[in-house]
Amino acid sequence: MNDDDVFDDGGRGGDGFDHEASEALEDDVLEEALRQAAAILDPVPAELRRTAVEAYALNSLHDVDAQLAQLTFDSLVDAVPVRGPDVPRMLTFSTVALTVDVEVTAQGMMGQVLPPRPARIEILGGPQSASATTVTADEMGRFTCDLSLTGPFALRLRSGEEVVLTEWLRL
């Protein structure tokens, strides 16, 4: 037995009071007070909350095992600005195993799955849309769609057993 064992009070500070537990309780009380203040001073609009819940359900409940493809390139953010009518928006979504390049214009979208493979791609139009628009990528991974996107959208790609879901974006 050493001096540390004799004087170890389990974080109580020598006075028999558990200071770590007290600090955790204070943090919980402060967090709850901040939540209540935010709810009063800057509440989340009911329509936004409903839309978020519906979008989450649309994404999450269908494909629990889907991989999330992260947005790795967006021409609005990552490219030199181009002026002119109907400038396409270029997007790249990536997972460890594949990449989806997409070009979106007012007339629709076209894209390619890399490495090339046939796939079924659902264009999800947000919770206001009752159904997704489905297109097929050919053996080179290329796909097109004449759907004009007006709100938030995401892509769900199915290739064999693999399911990939992109982040939601607004044009």
Average pLDDT score over the chain: 81
Kindly state whether residue 158 falls inside one of the protein's structural domains. yes
137 and 71 part of one domain = yes
Tell me the two tokens of residue 94.
Answer: 């990536």
CATH of the domain at 165: 2.60.40.760
Residue 126 or residue 159, greater confidence: 159
Q: Residue 147 belongs to what domain range?
A: 67-170
71 and 125 part of one domain = yes
pTM, rounded to two decimals: 0.62
Would you state the pLDDT for residue 92? 96
Query: CA-CA distances (angstroms) from residue 135 to 7, 8, 140, 146, 154?
Result: 70, 66, 14, 10, 13
Would you state the pLDDT for residue 78? 83
46 and 80 part of one domain = no
Q: What whole-number distance in Å separates Cα of residue 148 and Cα of residue 146?
A: 6
- Over residues 29-77, the pLDDT tens digits come to 989 998 888 889 888 888 888 777 766 666 554 556 788 999 999 988 8
32 and 90 part of one domain = no
Would you state the pLDDT for residue 169? 87
92 and 138 part of one domain = yes
- As a whole-number percent, the residues of the chain with pLDDT over 70 amount to 76
Residue 37 CA, distance from chain mean position: 27
